[in-house]
Structure 1
Amino acid sequence: MVQLNQNFIDSIAKDLPRHLNLDDFIHFSGQPLRLSIRINTLKISCADFIDRMTHQGWGFEPIPWCKDGFWLTLASDIQLGNTIEHLQGLFYIQEASSMLPPTALFQQFDLSRENIVLDMASAPGSKTTQIAALMENQGLLIANEYSASRIKVLHANVLRMGVTNTALTHFDARVFGEYLYESFDAILLDAPCSGEGTVRKDPEALKHWDPNNIADIAQTQKALIASAFLALKPGGSLVYSTCTLNKAENQAVCLSLKALYPDAVSIDDLSTLFPGANQACTEEGFLHVWPQIFDSEGFFVAKITKKHSIPRQQPAPKKQKNFPFNPAPKKHIDALQQYFQDTFSITLPKQGILMQRENEFWLFPESLVPFIGKMRYQRMGIKLADLLKKGFKAKHEALMALGINKPSIGLTQEQAKAYLMGRDIMLSQKEQPQGEILVSYEEALLGMAKHLGNKLKNNLPRELVKDKIALL
């Protein structure tokens, strides 16, 4: 049962718009959230996924503000995160309201060119992977996460969803304004907040709500949005969002930036972002989503355009040395391309840059090159393969991102379950050994196996092996 702190109720009543009712807010705060997902169009079209899953008893209701987002009804009670389709990276379990910020970021945005985008607070990766899908894996997406424990989850989700255009960083996001001054075409700051809008997901989120914490959080948010604005190119777009409801962490933070740079800050009107957006739009043009408006989590979204350049506050930091990667030599590039083509029918992308670190080969986004040395990166692009004594060994992450619609051996549902649980697949009759091959389920990739003639030897990375798979 939801635990609403009376002090919170008294405080939030002051921020509730006149056309909304406090009793409705309390009622909807106590209701369970509707289950929602976002289909990963980097791996499958919405039409194909809906057709595939409708046959398995899934019902889809479109989410108005995300063309790839849907509220779900299921024929049976299953753990979505343990389904084969989830592990294949075909969808992301994402709350509907959290799909709003990336949609706002790319409203009326030129996606035909390669953009440089920053996600300042990325984990666990729902918005990062949504942005990558909207960018169609083109350009460069720098995804930052301050928490060391959460960056591992971010990395896992980026790989699962087949994202190739990212570089992951691990910093207090307040450094970006100076380190990468006026470098980004678009920036998302989904700021750390008090989480008042998440009570439907976490009934005890507001049990110990304390107004004294709000002021401290707001100060951090103001520093973060100022850093984001400094890192944004003139003419670029900045989206500031939170999953909280009070004005101090929302409207006041954005207006503080406007007060700081009155001539450079232009607040965009989001009332036409999607049909019905005006129901949640404030007089300033922000979206302040209360739970009862769309039967969702509470959320806040603001979009800001940078009208002109603003002065840098400090000199540019010194360029960092000892970068451990070098451009791969042509002989290795040619051999690697031949290996991927001959073994998996995969043509390596021309727009990336092949880099080498000792016996490792990586594919970096081409747009990353000007950023090398300006910051440290936890992870860049995708790892393609290791160099062995005789040839190469492809990496799972590369095959899952680049092997879509390539020839593979189709597995049954039971075989796919066994594969994801780390088991070898016995063949019904002995065949000519084929070596390394791709395996799939329902025409979507699962990974790599070694065809030995009588069985498929499992090559799934140990860290991805699951103890339990939910079958529909």
Structure 2
Amino acid sequence: MLDLPTEFIEKYQQLLGEEEAQKLVASLQTESKKAYRINSLKFKQKTPKSTDQPVPDIPHAYYGEVSSQDPEWVSGSVYSQDPAAMFPAYIAKVEPGENVLDLCAAPGGKTTALSEALKNKGLLVANEISATRVKALRENLERFGISNALITNNDSEALAKKFPNFFDTILVDAPCSGEGMFRKNPDAITYWSQDYVLTCAERQKDILTEAVKMLKPNGKLIYSTCTFSPEEDEAIVLWLVEKYGMTIEKANHVVSEKVSYGNPSFINSDLEDLKKTLRFWPQDNLGEGQFAAILRMPDEEVEVKSKKKKKQKNRKGLTNEEKGFVKKVLDHFNLPESLQNWEENACVRQDHVFIPAINPSELKGLKIVNNGVELGLLKKNRFEPGHQLAEVLGQVDQENVVELDSSEDYKKYLHGETLRVKTELRGFILVAREGFIFSFGKVTGNGVLKNFYPKGLRILKDE
């Protein structure tokens, strides 16, 4: 049983009335809902998991649980995510070719959904201020096979100086008091208080002040939290409307009766458009708690003080010899559209060969975690393909694949062990389990499969 703060219960008794507040409190004592999304960048190859319990409104999303050791997860063919948390990226309705920013991106659920909508076209910037959480963000985006993402580890002010009036769409899933996470993460209860709610609201304003500087005129802001608190939800949306002249848009494509809407009376406002915002209550039995709003910037630019841009240096491309080393490996695989012009687009830095999502010379002063797709590493007179490349290649059908037929061999490979396999293939190959490509390997002349699964992702034998 969750020991909910008396102050929390009394707050929602006042807002909702005794009966509805009782439903909220009772729902927080039940188990949280688990769900997953199927990665549409990869699912044509093989549809993973059961699809008989769809999440309302969200395409390719289903209730159920996926283990982090399942081949569907390891290959990036699915992403485990709270059902309600799927809606902010869904209502963004981004289009291929847009410049999109996920400002508070870790661990990556919303970012991966945005990447599906972009279809590897345009630019996706995924930022996370926490140096610890950004590592999980990178792993999840790499696993998903995203080729147009720039991952950064900065505060919003640093990004605003670099990208003034730049993005078509920005998603801000803001740090909040976490009321909607109580049953999923009971630790959130221990630091909740009304004072903390108000502190979070001020922090959200600070983040959004910088976010709006990065929106193009008429750009779209998706604001979301995982809390019910009106101080962090309707009140913040009203602040954006009043301070920046933004307009609230309705998510016409959300039709489920399990979704509730914003309530102007919660903050003593008469702004009817607040009813266009979305709120997800756990008692509605869709998922955890969530709030989301679509806001549109006015047509004029927000004035931003930024440093004068210096003339950018050309990126360092590959020499003909280096291209030959890379080509010798890549010629054995079918390349998705995003990689087909690699000879023209690839560059090299400290022997790392990558196709940048944005010219590296334009990013000076930012903490860059990953830029585009790392193809691999140049070594003495050879090229060694990287793990991110394997996950991107998993988007299309491949012939040079070694299938691990037994669960025992699959577990051994995830541990980092070398295997003996029956195959006529030699050299670098892709490794799959149940049809899901998840790694590179290298087959030697005597049929030994050398393990190229990254050490940082390997699973210990006792897990």
TM-score (normalizing by structure 1):
0.87
**Is 1:162 matched with 2:145?**
yes
Aligned ranges 1:210-289 → 2 under 5 Å? 210-262=193-245, 265-270=246-251, 272-276=253-257, 279-282=260-263, 283=272, 284=274, 285-289=276-280
Aligned ranges 1:304-315 → 2 under 5 Å? 304-314=295-305
SS of 1:60's partner is: coil
SS of 1:309's partner is: coil
Distance in 1 (alpha carbons) for counterparts of 2:450 and 2:259:
56
Equivalent residue number for residue 3 of structure 1: 3
Equivalent residue number for residue 331 of structure 1: 320
Residue type of the partner of 2:78?
F
Structure 1, gaps ≥5 residues long: 74-78
Distance in 1 (alpha carbons) for counterparts of 2:27 and 2:121:
40
Residue type of the partner of 1:306?
M
Q: Note closer, same or farther for the CA distance 1:469–1:232 as it changes in structure 2 (3 Å cut).
A: farther
SS of 2:189's partner is: coil
Alpha-carbon offset, residue 281 of structure 1:
4.8
SS of 1:327's partner is: coil
Comparing 339-348 and 81-90, the one that deviates more: 339-348
Alpha-carbon offset, residue 402 of structure 1:
2.2
Alpha-carbon offset, residue 343 of structure 1:
3.3
Comparing 270-279 and 225-234, the one that deviates more: 270-279
Distance in 2 (alpha carbons) for counterparts of 1:204 and 1:374:
36
Alpha-carbon offset, residue 326 of structure 1:
2.5
Alpha-carbon offset, residue 116 of structure 1:
0.5
**Is 1:406 matched with 2:398?**
yes
Alpha-carbon offset, residue 368 of structure 1:
5.0
Distance in 2 (alpha carbons) for counterparts of 1:148 and 1:322:
28
SS of 1:248's partner is: coil
Equivalent residue number for residue 281 of structure 2: 290
Equivalent residue number for residue 448 of structure 2: 455
SS of 1:379's partner is: strand
Contact 1:98 1:299 in 2 (8 A): yes
Contact 1:143 1:167 in 2 (8 A): yes
Structure 2, gaps ≥5 residues long: 264-271
Distance in 2 (alpha carbons) for counterparts of 1:177 and 1:327:
27
Equivalent residue number for residue 317 of structure 1: 307
Equivalent residue number for residue 359 of structure 1: 351
Aligned ranges 1:21-32 → 2 under 5 Å? 21-32=20-31
- 1:270-315: per-residue Cα shift (whole Å, max 9, x none)? 365233376435442110211112342111001101121244142x
2:459 to 458, 463, 466: 466
Equivalent residue number for residue 413 of structure 2: 419
SS of 1:419's partner is: helix
Distance in 2 (alpha carbons) for counterparts of 1:142 and 1:101:
16
Aligned ranges 1:123-134 → 2 under 5 Å? 123-134=106-117
Equivalent residue number for residue 42 of structure 1: 41
Q: Note closer, same or farther for the CA distance 1:149–1:278 as it changes in structure 2 (3 Å cut).
A: closer
Q: Note closer, same or farther for the CA distance 1:136–1:368 as it changes in structure 2 (3 Å cut).
A: farther
Comparing 379-388 and 334-343, the one that deviates more: 334-343
Comparing 114-123 and 385-394, the one that deviates more: 385-394
Alpha-carbon offset, residue 413 of structure 1:
3.0
Equivalent residue number for residue 76 of structure 1: none
SS of 2:120's partner is: coil
Equivalent residue number for residue 384 of structure 1: 375
Q: Note closer, same or farther for the CA distance 1:278–1:198 as it changes in structure 2 (3 Å cut).
A: closer
Equivalent residue number for residue 340 of structure 1: 329
Alpha-carbon offset, residue 190 of structure 1:
0.2
Q: Note closer, same or farther for the CA distance 1:165–1:433 as it changes in structure 2 (3 Å cut).
A: closer
**Is 1:105 matched with 2:92?**
yes
Distance in 2 (alpha carbons) for counterparts of 1:204 and 1:386:
42
Residue type of the partner of 1:405?
D
Alpha-carbon offset, residue 427 of structure 1:
3.1
Q: CA-atom RMSD, angstroms? A: 2.7
Q: Percent identity?
A: 28
Contact 2:259 2:280 in 1 (8 A): no
Residue type of the partner of 1:456?
L
Contact 2:390 2:438 in 1 (8 A): no
Alpha-carbon offset, residue 248 of structure 1:
0.4
Residue type of the partner of 1:401?
V
Distance in 2 (alpha carbons) for counterparts of 1:169 and 1:122:
10
Q: Note closer, same or farther for the CA distance 1:369–1:149 as it changes in structure 2 (3 Å cut).
A: closer
Distance in 2 (alpha carbons) for counterparts of 1:370 and 1:235:
28
Distance in 1 (alpha carbons) for counterparts of 2:430 and 2:259:
48
Alpha-carbon offset, residue 227 of structure 1:
1.7
Distance in 2 (alpha carbons) for counterparts of 1:13 and 1:310:
43
Alpha-carbon offset, residue 20 of structure 1:
7.2
Distance in 2 (alpha carbons) for counterparts of 1:186 and 1:215:
27
Equivalent residue number for residue 57 of structure 2: 65
Q: Note closer, same or farther for the CA distance 1:171–1:369 as it changes in structure 2 (3 Å cut).
A: closer
Q: Note closer, same or farther for the CA distance 1:203–1:419 as it changes in structure 2 (3 Å cut).
A: same
Q: Note closer, same or farther for the CA distance 1:224–1:344 as it changes in structure 2 (3 Å cut).
A: same
Aligned ranges 1:133-212 → 2 under 5 Å? 133-212=116-195
Q: Note closer, same or farther for the CA distance 1:271–1:12 as it changes in structure 2 (3 Å cut).
A: farther
Contact 1:3 1:207 in 2 (8 A): no
Q: How many residues align?
A: 446
- 1:96-136: per-residue Cα shift (whole Å, max 9, x none)? 01101000111xx5x2x411000000111111111111211
TM-score (normalizing by structure 2):
0.88
